[in-house]
Amino acid sequence: MKKSIFLLISIIIILVLLIFFAFKFSEADADDKSNLLDSDSFIYIAHRGASGQAPEHTMTSYQQAKELGADYIEIDLQMTKDKQLIAMHDDTVNRTTDGSGAVNEMTLDEIKELDAGSWFNEENPDYIKEEYIGASVPSLREIFEEFGDEVNYYIETKEPEDTEKMEEALYSLLKEYNLIGGSVDSSKVVIQSYSAGSLLKMKDLDDSIPLIQLQRKEQIEEMDSLEKFEEIGEYAIGLGPNFSSIDIAYVQNAETAGLLIHPYTPNEPVEISGLKSWGVNGVFTNFAESYVEAMKTEIP
């Protein structure tokens, strides 16, 4: 009798352990972000963080993007007068803070004194939060300190031709926080730029970092042959085009040239699902819910 009870208890324990480990492994698989740059992927890149519901390029915007399951958090880089890298899209602080002036004419301390959140509450009454008032502009170092390797970063070098040694400063921080050094496919960081020169500098610094060539409408219109896509493929793994300026032929040429396509910035589910049906590999969007809704759409 005792042997039977012992055997039953042992079986129950084994079953419980099997269920536990099966759950943990399935959970790990669900959270696995190691194949995000695979040609079969369709990823969510949080454009300036969760910028549809929080002030762009603030710590709360990035935190919300993380909580919403972003595959990558996008960070636009500007360099201050005292050579510090900060997260800001524009080359002035005018639009997204209560201050004014060019970023490269202000020190980090001066920029940290500005309110980078109140403007969002004024312009987005549906998303007002008191915590946004007084939000500060984060430095890239602060972002890495806060999130480390818990998130993936999609970083743009802004105005690199007018900013001396931006690429070197970025590379130094990436090394310091151990965010580079793996393979291209498993990289925690993607670097994007409109400047091919800036991307080539990054490639010279470390050719394991995946690079994306951004394109505005005028550059997209010049992509009139497969050879031009293949030329970009010599230094970049993909393209970041304005989504409203591309068509299915553009996507097919990119695919033939072995390039990923991450268009910016569709915010409606129908826009995202349409791009997905063409075969793009992910999108920049301000709204996670639009991406989630689009992922429910059946692709014929």
* Under 8 Å between Cβ of 133 and 117: yes
Q: Is 266 a domain residue?
A: yes
Same domain, 19 and 162: no
Choose among 57, 59, 235, 227: nearest CA to 158. 57
The H or E element containing residue 78 is strand 72-79
Give 72-113 pLDDT, tens digit per residue. Answer: 999 999 999 999 999 999 999 999 999 999 999 999 999 999
Q: Which of 57, 66, 89, 276 is catalytic?
A: 89
Q: Is 262 a catalytic residue?
A: no
3-class DSSP state of 298:
coil
Same domain, 60 and 206: yes
Same domain, 57 and 203: yes
Distance CA 223, CA 240 (A): 13
Number of domains into which the chain is organized: 2
Q: What is the pLDDT of residue 24?
A: 36
Give 205-230 pLDDT, tens digit per residue. Answer: 999 999 999 999 999 999 999 999 99
Same domain, 6 and 76: no
Q: Is 118 a domain residue?
A: no
Same domain, 12 and 144: no
Distance of CA 2 to the CA centre of its chain: 59
Question: Residue 19 above 70 pLDDT?
Answer: no
Q: What is the pLDDT of residue 183?
A: 75
Distance CA 169, CA 201 (A): 12
**Domain of 183: which CATH number?**
3.20.20.190
Distance CA 245, CA 216 (A): 8
Q: Is 210 a domain residue?
A: yes
Q: Is 57 a catalytic residue?
A: no
Phi, psi of 224 (to 5 degrees): -105, 10
Q: Is 234 a domain residue?
A: yes
Q: Which amino acid is at 158?
A: K
Give 229-285 pLDDT, tens digit per residue. Answer: 999 999 999 999 999 999 999 999 999 999 999 999 999 999 999 999 999 999 999
Same domain, 157 and 229: yes
Domain of residue 27, residue span = 1-32
When the pLDDT of each residue in the chain is averaged and rounded to a whole number, the result is 91
* Under 8 Å between Cβ of 266 and 290: yes
User: Which tokens go with 41?
Assistant: 């992927």
Same domain, 182 and 238: yes
Instruction: Count Cα atoms within 13 angstroms, Cβ side, for 291.
Output: 24
Instruction: Count Cα atoms within 13 angstroms, Cβ side, for 62.
Output: 29
Q: What is the pLDDT of residue 33?
A: 63
Q: What is the pLDDT of residue 297?
A: 81
b/e code 198-224 from CB counts within 10 Å (16+ = b)? bbbbbbebeeebbbbbbbeeebbeebe
Same domain, 201 and 285: yes
Same domain, 14 and 56: no
> Among positive and negative, which fits the CA dihedral 105, 108, 109, 113?
positive
Q: Is 124 a domain residue?
A: no
> What share of the chain in percent tops pLDDT 70?
87
Distance CA 141, CA 265 (A): 26
Question: Residue 124 above 50 pLDDT?
Answer: yes
Same domain, 24 and 150: no
Question: Residue 17 above 50 pLDDT?
Answer: no
Q: Is 67 a domain residue?
A: yes
Choose among 256, 198, 266: nearest CA to 230. 256
Q: Which of 47, 48, 66, 158 is catalytic?
A: 47
User: Which tokens go with 266?
Assistant: 């569709």
Q: What is the pLDDT of residue 198?
A: 98
How open is the CA angle 91-92-96, to the nearest 5 degrees?
A: 110
Q: Is 108 a domain residue?
A: no
* Predicted structure pTM score: 0.89
Q: Is 100 a domain residue?
A: no
The H or E element containing residue 135 is none
Same domain, 7 and 76: no
Same domain, 7 and 60: no
